[in-house]
Amino acid sequence: MMQTKRKGYAAVIWLMLLAFFVFCPSRVSASETLGVHIYDGAGLLTDEESASLEQRCREIETRESIHVLMVTTEDTQGKSQQAYADDFYDEVYPQDSDENGVLILIDMSERQLYVSTAGIMQYYLSDREIDTLLDHMYEEAAAADYAGAFHRSADDIELAIQRGISSADYLIDENGRIIRYRRITPFELAFAAAAGVLVFCLVFFSVRHSYKKKVKTDARGYGRVSDVTLRKDRDMLVSRHVTSRKIPQGPPPGSGGPGGGSSVHTSSSGRSHGGGGRGF
Protein backbone atom coordinates (compact mmCIF):
# COMPACT_ATOMS: atom_id res chain seq x y z
CA MET A 1 0.00 0.00 0.00
CA MET A 2 2.81 2.42 0.92
CA GLN A 3 4.63 1.59 -2.32
CA THR A 4 1.51 2.45 -4.33
CA LYS A 5 1.24 5.85 -2.58
CA ARG A 6 4.90 6.60 -3.27
CA LYS A 7 4.40 5.86 -6.96
CA GLY A 8 1.40 8.16 -6.94
CA TYR A 9 3.37 11.01 -5.33
CA ALA A 10 6.21 10.53 -7.82
CA ALA A 11 3.76 10.70 -10.73
CA VAL A 12 2.26 13.94 -9.38
CA ILE A 13 5.72 15.51 -8.98
CA TRP A 14 6.67 14.58 -12.55
CA LEU A 15 3.42 16.04 -13.86
CA MET A 16 4.04 19.29 -11.96
CA LEU A 17 7.58 19.58 -13.37
CA LEU A 18 6.32 18.88 -16.89
CA ALA A 19 3.61 21.53 -16.55
CA PHE A 20 6.17 24.06 -15.28
CA PHE A 21 8.50 23.65 -18.25
CA VAL A 22 5.66 23.58 -20.79
CA PHE A 23 3.53 26.47 -19.54
CA CYS A 24 6.07 28.69 -17.83
CA PRO A 25 6.94 31.62 -20.16
CA SER A 26 10.49 31.76 -21.41
CA ARG A 27 12.69 34.28 -19.70
CA VAL A 28 15.06 34.50 -22.71
CA SER A 29 14.44 37.70 -24.65
CA ALA A 30 14.39 37.81 -28.43
CA SER A 31 17.61 39.80 -28.51
CA GLU A 32 19.42 37.09 -26.57
CA THR A 33 18.64 34.55 -29.30
CA LEU A 34 20.53 36.61 -31.87
CA GLY A 35 24.21 35.99 -32.43
CA VAL A 36 27.13 38.38 -32.17
CA HIS A 37 27.47 40.84 -35.05
CA ILE A 38 30.53 42.91 -34.09
CA TYR A 39 33.98 41.27 -34.28
CA ASP A 40 36.55 43.92 -33.38
CA GLY A 41 39.74 41.93 -33.80
CA ALA A 42 41.84 45.07 -34.40
CA GLY A 43 40.53 46.83 -31.28
CA LEU A 44 39.30 49.91 -33.15
CA LEU A 45 36.03 50.37 -31.24
CA THR A 46 35.23 51.37 -27.68
CA ASP A 47 32.77 49.31 -25.64
CA GLU A 48 30.09 51.97 -26.15
CA GLU A 49 30.67 52.02 -29.92
CA SER A 50 30.54 48.22 -30.14
CA ALA A 51 27.29 48.13 -28.15
CA SER A 52 25.72 50.80 -30.37
CA LEU A 53 26.72 49.01 -33.57
CA GLU A 54 25.57 45.66 -32.16
CA GLN A 55 22.15 47.15 -31.47
CA ARG A 56 22.02 48.60 -34.98
CA CYS A 57 22.82 45.25 -36.60
CA ARG A 58 20.23 43.44 -34.48
CA GLU A 59 17.56 45.94 -35.44
CA ILE A 60 18.25 45.36 -39.14
CA GLU A 61 18.29 41.61 -38.66
CA THR A 62 15.03 41.59 -36.70
CA ARG A 63 13.20 43.95 -39.04
CA GLU A 64 14.53 42.80 -42.43
CA SER A 65 15.74 39.20 -41.76
CA ILE A 66 19.14 40.25 -43.12
CA HIS A 67 22.36 39.42 -41.27
CA VAL A 68 24.89 42.24 -40.89
CA LEU A 69 28.41 41.50 -39.65
CA MET A 70 30.99 44.20 -38.91
CA VAL A 71 34.58 42.96 -38.64
CA THR A 72 37.96 44.57 -38.01
CA THR A 73 41.25 42.70 -38.25
CA GLU A 74 45.00 43.15 -38.39
CA ASP A 75 45.62 39.71 -39.89
CA THR A 76 43.75 38.23 -42.85
CA GLN A 77 45.63 34.93 -42.40
CA GLY A 78 47.34 35.24 -45.76
CA LYS A 79 44.04 35.63 -47.61
CA SER A 80 42.84 38.47 -49.77
CA GLN A 81 40.23 40.77 -48.24
CA GLN A 82 37.62 39.15 -50.48
CA ALA A 83 38.46 35.60 -49.41
CA TYR A 84 38.77 36.58 -45.74
CA ALA A 85 35.40 38.37 -45.69
CA ASP A 86 33.59 35.60 -47.60
CA ASP A 87 35.02 32.83 -45.43
CA PHE A 88 34.31 34.77 -42.22
CA TYR A 89 30.64 35.17 -43.15
CA ASP A 90 30.30 31.53 -44.20
CA GLU A 91 31.81 30.35 -40.91
CA VAL A 92 29.43 32.47 -38.82
CA TYR A 93 26.40 31.53 -40.95
CA PRO A 94 27.11 28.11 -42.50
CA GLN A 95 23.45 27.17 -43.00
CA ASP A 96 21.78 27.88 -46.34
CA SER A 97 18.82 29.37 -44.46
CA ASP A 98 21.18 32.09 -43.13
CA GLU A 99 22.81 33.04 -46.42
CA ASN A 100 21.04 36.42 -46.76
CA GLY A 101 23.43 38.99 -45.37
CA VAL A 102 26.38 41.31 -45.71
CA LEU A 103 29.77 41.62 -44.01
CA ILE A 104 31.64 44.93 -43.67
CA LEU A 105 35.40 44.53 -43.16
CA ILE A 106 38.07 47.01 -42.07
CA ASP A 107 41.52 45.47 -42.55
CA MET A 108 44.15 47.53 -40.75
CA SER A 109 47.07 45.40 -41.94
CA GLU A 110 46.71 46.79 -45.48
CA ARG A 111 44.26 49.61 -44.69
CA GLN A 112 41.52 48.16 -46.86
CA LEU A 113 37.73 48.35 -46.71
CA TYR A 114 35.74 45.43 -48.11
CA VAL A 115 32.05 44.57 -48.47
CA SER A 116 30.93 40.96 -48.95
CA THR A 117 27.31 40.21 -49.88
CA ALA A 118 25.49 36.88 -49.83
CA GLY A 119 22.04 35.62 -50.79
CA ILE A 120 19.44 38.27 -51.50
CA MET A 121 21.91 41.04 -50.58
CA GLN A 122 23.72 40.36 -53.86
CA TYR A 123 20.67 41.88 -55.57
CA TYR A 124 20.06 44.62 -53.00
CA LEU A 125 23.64 45.93 -53.24
CA SER A 126 24.79 46.32 -56.84
CA ASP A 127 28.41 47.10 -57.74
CA ARG A 128 27.42 50.74 -58.11
CA GLU A 129 25.81 50.86 -54.67
CA ILE A 130 28.78 49.09 -53.09
CA ASP A 131 31.06 51.77 -54.56
CA THR A 132 28.81 54.43 -53.02
CA LEU A 133 28.90 52.64 -49.65
CA LEU A 134 32.70 52.47 -49.80
CA ASP A 135 32.86 56.18 -50.66
CA HIS A 136 30.90 56.97 -47.50
CA MET A 137 33.00 54.63 -45.38
CA TYR A 138 36.22 56.11 -46.76
CA GLU A 139 35.36 59.58 -45.48
CA GLU A 140 35.03 58.28 -41.92
CA ALA A 141 37.79 55.65 -41.97
CA ALA A 142 40.35 58.11 -43.36
CA ALA A 143 39.60 60.29 -40.33
CA ALA A 144 40.03 57.27 -38.00
CA ASP A 145 36.31 57.34 -37.13
CA TYR A 146 35.78 53.61 -37.57
CA ALA A 147 32.49 53.47 -35.68
CA GLY A 148 31.23 56.26 -37.94
CA ALA A 149 32.33 54.26 -41.00
CA PHE A 150 30.32 51.26 -39.83
CA HIS A 151 27.27 53.42 -39.10
CA ARG A 152 27.47 54.94 -42.60
CA SER A 153 27.58 51.43 -44.09
CA ALA A 154 24.48 50.48 -42.08
CA ASP A 155 22.70 53.57 -43.46
CA ASP A 156 23.44 52.52 -47.04
CA ILE A 157 22.43 48.91 -46.36
CA GLU A 158 19.06 50.02 -45.02
CA LEU A 159 18.52 52.35 -47.99
CA ALA A 160 19.28 49.52 -50.43
CA ILE A 161 16.83 47.19 -48.68
CA GLN A 162 14.12 49.88 -48.64
CA ARG A 163 14.62 50.46 -52.38
CA GLY A 164 13.96 46.79 -52.96
CA ILE A 165 14.70 44.74 -56.07
CA SER A 166 13.59 45.89 -59.52
CA SER A 167 14.03 44.68 -63.09
CA ALA A 168 17.22 46.78 -63.15
CA ASP A 169 18.94 44.43 -60.69
CA TYR A 170 20.85 41.38 -61.91
CA LEU A 171 23.90 39.28 -61.14
CA ILE A 172 26.92 38.64 -63.38
CA ASP A 173 28.65 35.37 -62.57
CA GLU A 174 32.27 34.43 -63.24
CA ASN A 175 31.39 33.25 -66.76
CA GLY A 176 29.65 36.51 -67.66
CA ARG A 177 26.19 34.93 -67.42
CA ILE A 178 23.35 37.29 -66.49
CA ILE A 179 21.12 36.08 -63.63
CA ARG A 180 17.97 38.07 -62.94
CA TYR A 181 15.94 37.90 -59.76
CA ARG A 182 12.63 36.25 -60.55
CA ARG A 183 9.55 36.35 -58.36
CA ILE A 184 5.87 35.83 -59.18
CA THR A 185 3.72 38.93 -58.80
CA PRO A 186 0.11 38.71 -57.54
CA PHE A 187 -1.12 39.61 -61.04
CA GLU A 188 0.93 36.82 -62.63
CA LEU A 189 -0.35 34.35 -60.03
CA ALA A 190 -3.99 35.33 -60.64
CA PHE A 191 -3.52 35.22 -64.42
CA ALA A 192 -1.91 31.76 -64.27
CA ALA A 193 -4.76 30.45 -62.09
CA ALA A 194 -7.42 31.85 -64.45
CA ALA A 195 -5.61 30.44 -67.49
CA GLY A 196 -5.37 27.02 -65.84
CA VAL A 197 -9.10 26.96 -65.07
CA LEU A 198 -9.92 28.05 -68.64
CA VAL A 199 -7.72 25.36 -70.22
CA PHE A 200 -9.22 22.71 -67.94
CA CYS A 201 -12.76 23.72 -68.89
CA LEU A 202 -11.96 23.70 -72.63
CA VAL A 203 -10.37 20.24 -72.47
CA PHE A 204 -13.08 18.82 -70.22
CA PHE A 205 -16.06 20.00 -72.30
CA SER A 206 -14.31 19.13 -75.58
CA VAL A 207 -13.75 15.54 -74.47
CA ARG A 208 -17.27 15.34 -73.07
CA HIS A 209 -18.75 16.59 -76.34
CA SER A 210 -16.71 14.09 -78.38
CA TYR A 211 -18.08 11.17 -76.37
CA LYS A 212 -21.63 12.26 -77.13
CA LYS A 213 -21.14 11.91 -80.90
CA LYS A 214 -22.36 8.67 -82.51
CA VAL A 215 -19.73 7.07 -84.73
CA LYS A 216 -21.06 5.03 -87.64
CA THR A 217 -18.77 2.64 -89.44
CA ASP A 218 -18.95 -0.62 -91.38
CA ALA A 219 -16.67 -3.14 -92.98
CA ARG A 220 -16.29 -1.01 -96.09
CA GLY A 221 -14.62 1.70 -94.07
CA TYR A 222 -11.84 -0.64 -93.03
CA GLY A 223 -11.42 -1.78 -96.58
CA ARG A 224 -10.26 1.68 -97.66
CA VAL A 225 -6.94 1.02 -95.96
CA SER A 226 -5.93 -0.95 -99.06
CA ASP A 227 -6.08 2.25 -101.11
CA VAL A 228 -3.16 3.73 -99.15
CA THR A 229 0.09 3.94 -101.15
CA LEU A 230 3.40 4.24 -99.28
CA ARG A 231 6.26 6.11 -100.94
CA LYS A 232 9.89 6.29 -99.88
CA ASP A 233 11.44 9.79 -99.85
CA ARG A 234 15.06 10.67 -99.24
CA ASP A 235 16.40 14.07 -98.15
CA MET A 236 19.95 14.95 -99.17
CA LEU A 237 22.21 17.60 -97.63
CA VAL A 238 23.09 19.98 -100.47
CA SER A 239 25.13 22.64 -98.65
CA ARG A 240 25.99 23.89 -95.18
CA HIS A 241 26.29 27.49 -93.99
CA VAL A 242 27.45 28.38 -90.44
CA THR A 243 26.93 31.87 -88.98
CA SER A 244 28.70 32.98 -85.80
CA ARG A 245 28.46 36.18 -83.80
CA LYS A 246 30.13 37.57 -80.70
CA ILE A 247 27.94 37.80 -77.59
CA PRO A 248 28.20 41.31 -76.11
CA GLN A 249 29.51 41.52 -72.56
CA GLY A 250 27.83 44.82 -71.70
CA PRO A 251 24.78 45.19 -69.45
CA PRO A 252 21.54 43.76 -70.85
CA PRO A 253 18.59 45.92 -71.92
CA GLY A 254 16.64 47.45 -69.07
CA SER A 255 19.66 47.68 -66.78
CA GLY A 256 19.20 51.37 -65.99
CA GLY A 257 17.74 52.78 -62.81
CA PRO A 258 18.98 52.91 -59.24
CA GLY A 259 20.13 49.29 -59.19
CA GLY A 260 22.40 47.62 -61.71
CA GLY A 261 24.66 44.65 -62.09
CA SER A 262 26.34 42.85 -59.23
CA SER A 263 29.49 40.86 -60.01
CA VAL A 264 29.44 37.61 -58.04
CA HIS A 265 31.91 34.80 -57.42
CA THR A 266 32.08 31.51 -55.54
CA SER A 267 33.75 31.34 -52.14
CA SER A 268 35.81 28.44 -50.83
CA SER A 269 32.66 27.01 -49.21
CA GLY A 270 30.84 26.96 -52.54
CA ARG A 271 28.49 29.84 -51.71
CA SER A 272 27.90 32.74 -54.09
CA HIS A 273 29.12 36.17 -52.93
CA GLY A 274 29.22 39.66 -54.34
CA GLY A 275 31.31 42.52 -53.07
CA GLY A 276 34.03 45.07 -53.56
CA GLY A 277 36.81 46.85 -51.73
CA ARG A 278 38.94 49.97 -51.54
CA GLY A 279 41.98 51.28 -49.71
CA PHE A 280 41.88 54.17 -47.25
Domain that holds residue 71: 31-183+257-279
| Inside any domain, residue 135 | yes
Q: How many CA atoms lie within 13 A of 1 on its CB side?
A: 0
26-45 confidence digits (pLDDT tens): 333 333 345 899 999 999 99
| Inside any domain, residue 2 | no
| Inside any domain, residue 248 | no
Q: How far is CA 220 from CA 58, 214, 228, 230, in A?
A: 84, 18, 14, 21
Q: Is the pLDDT of residue 104 over 90?
A: yes
- Res 176: pLDDT: 76
Which residues does 143 contact at the CB level (< 8 Å), separation at least 6?
Answer: none
CATH number at residue 158: 3.10.310.50
Pick 234 or 280 by higher pLDDT: 280
185-230 confidence digits (pLDDT tens): 454 455 455 666 666 666 666 766 666 665 555 555 555 555 666 6
Which residues does 259 contact at the CB level (< 8 Å), separation at least 6?
Answer: 123, 126, 128, 129, 163, 165, 166, 168, 169
Pick 165 or 51 by higher pLDDT: 51
User: What percent of the chain is modeled with pLDDT above 70?
Assistant: 61
How confident is the model over 121-134, as a mean pLDDT?
A: 95
| Inside any domain, residue 149 | yes
- Residues 181, 183, 187, 190: is their CA dihedral positive or negative? positive
| Inside any domain, residue 206 | no
| Inside any domain, residue 123 | yes
pTM over 0.75: no
User: Rounded to an integer, what distance in angstroms lies between the CA atom of residue 141 and that of residue 144?
Assistant: 5
- Res 88: pLDDT: 98
Q: Is the pLDDT of residue 63 over 70?
A: yes
> Would you list the DSSP string of 208-275?
HHHHHSPP---HHHHHGGGG------------------PPP-SPPTT--SS--EEEEEE-TTS-EEEE
- Res 167: pLDDT: 73
Number of domains in the chain: 1
User: Rounded to an integer, what distance in angstroms lies between the CA atom of residue 101 and that of residue 89?
Assistant: 8
User: Rounded to an integer, what distance in angstroms lies between the CA atom of residue 199 and that of residue 161?
Assistant: 39
User: Rounded to an integer, what distance in angstroms lies between the CA atom of residue 254 and that of residue 179?
Assistant: 13
3 state DSSP class of 171: strand
User: Rounded to an integer, what distance in angstroms lies between the CA atom of residue 60 and that of residue 161?
Assistant: 10
Q: Is the pLDDT of residue 49 over 80?
A: yes
Confidence of residue 182 (pLDDT cuts 50, 70, 90): low
Cβ count near 132 (within 10 Å)? 15
Q: Is the pLDDT of residue 258 over 60?
A: no
Confidence of residue 241 (pLDDT cuts 50, 70, 90): low
| Inside any domain, residue 214 | no
User: Rounded to an integer, what distance in angstroms lies between the CA atom of residue 92 and that of residue 39?
Assistant: 11
Pick 148 or 214 by higher pLDDT: 148
Q: Of 58-62, 119-123, 202-206, 260-264, where does mean pLDDT reach its minimum?
A: 202-206
Cβ count near 155 (within 10 Å)? 13
- Res 194: pLDDT: 60
Q: Is the pLDDT of residue 183 over 70?
A: no
C-alpha triplet 161, 277, 174: angle, nearest 5°: 80
Q: Is the pLDDT of residue 133 over 90?
A: yes
Q: Do residues 85 and 103 touch, judged by C-beta distance below 8 A?
A: yes
Average model confidence (pLDDT) across the chain = 78
Residue type, 225: V
| Inside any domain, residue 42 | yes
Confidence of residue 173 (pLDDT cuts 50, 70, 90): confident
